[in-house]
Amino acid sequence: MQFELPPLPYAKNALAPHISEETLEFHYGKHHQAYANNLKGLLDGKPEATQSLEEIILGSSGGVFNNAAQIWNHTFFWNSLSPTGGGKPTGELASMIDRDFGGYDQLKVALTKAAVTQFGSGWGWLVLDGDKLAVMQTSNADLPMKHGKKALLTIDVWEHAYYVDYRNLRPKFVETVIDKLLNWDFALQNLKG
């Protein structure tokens, strides 16, 4: 079956001190791995096992959707982070942010609000909605593709994303991800891809 845990795009200690190796051991090594294991078990011997992850997400519900979407969400989240990330984007992405948000500072406020105010577990997203950038939040395993939007970046705000390093301080975690880790090159690849 095709649903193996994809490798991280960096070493488990590469995001330190902002996200610790211990967090990645649990978040990637346990939680993300569990979604892959669960999906394999749910689809073993079924025709859906030959579909792409995106096809499964768009055509499923319940446990199959939850596990497939969480594999996708987490893989996307790891790529939304970079040891050399953070700061302000440049070029085409910066121009679109200026056009659609009125500047980077306004985007930062909107993305922070989406991530911090997500009740319970979920995600804050920068998305392409038609030809405009937008910010959205989703709960649990939900994701932009289910709403006809294209994900550019995400911030995971399930407690296991930050509790080891930040305890209950979700706002501090979100601020650190935006300021120090967001991978604007990945966002631009998604914008153009």
pLDDT tens for 60-119 read 999 999 999 999 999 999 999 999 999 999 999 999 999 999 999 999 999 999 999 999
Residue 2 above 80 pLDDT?
no
Residue 155 above 50 pLDDT?
yes
d(CA 75, CA 21): 17
pLDDT at 27: 98
d(CA 190, CA 133): 12
Mean pLDDT within 27-34: 98
Residue 1's pLDDT band, with cuts at 50, 70 and 90, is very low
Alpha carbon of residue 32 to chain centroid: 12
Alpha carbon of residue 7 to chain centroid: 15
* Contact (Cβ atoms closer than 8 angstroms) between residue 127 and residue 144: yes
**pTM attached to this predicted model:** 0.98
What is the chain's mean pLDDT, rounded?
Answer: 97
Residue 134 above 80 pLDDT?
yes
Residue 3's pLDDT band, with cuts at 50, 70 and 90, is confident
pLDDT at 119: 97
pLDDT at 4: 86
Q: Which of 43, 32, 69 is nearest to 143 (CA)?
A: 69
Report all structural domains of the chain as residue ranges with CATH numbers, in order of start.
21-80 (1.10.287.990), 91-192 (3.55.40.20)
